[in-house]
Amino acid sequence: MTCKKCSRCKVEKNIDEFDKRGGKRKGQQAYCKKCNVERMKERWNKGLVQVNKLEKSEYDRTRRENNVIRSRQNQQAKAWTLGNLERIKTAAENRKLLFPEKIRAQRMVINAVQRGRIEKPDACSCCGKNTPGNILHGHHDDYSKPLEVDWLCASCHGLRHSLFGKTLHLQPGKRT
């Protein structure tokens, strides 16, 4: 067990009680963790840690800007949706006409989950990633067996479609 003397409190302590610091000869801070915390509190109270205050104000400014951008994007998405309701309805109707078996199977799974006949697991059946049930996707390998579903996370679901070439297109270049 290696010991080191703290430069501030002059007490010899276990090396685990010192923070690591690259660039130092022994790779350890000169002060023990407890003294380092006290030292930083004193520096903060004296106003010597102005860099951190500047970093915090920069962080706050960027966060506010990002929130404004996100809010603007949400408003634009809502405006687009409201302006294109007819287009959205038409696309949904086309999807129903083009893929009736797929729609029927999806509705049957939704109803079965709501009525408790099928239980959504908490983890992806492919990668095992723990995912809340409302985020898991039900994947049908065969739409003629609508209640045989693999519960997949979004990334595994996309991978399953790309691997087996089952990605369906309503129009060239547009995924369903």
Instruction: List, for residues 140-161, the tens digit of each pLDDT value.
Output: 888 899 899 989 888 888 888 7
Domain spanning 99-175 has what CATH number? 3.40.1800
Contacts of 96 (CB under 8 A, 6+ apart): 103
Do residues 129 and 153 make contact, with C-beta atoms less than 8 angstroms apart? yes
Instruction: Give me the DSSP letters along 145-160.
Output: STT--EEE-HHHHHHH
pTM over 0.85: no
Q: What whole-number distance in Å separates Cα of residue 152 and Cα of residue 150?
A: 6
Q: Average pLDDT, whole number, for the chain?
A: 82
Q: What whole-number distance in Å separates Cα of residue 60 and Cα of residue 26?
A: 37
Q: For the chain, what are the domain ranges?
A: 3-46, 99-175
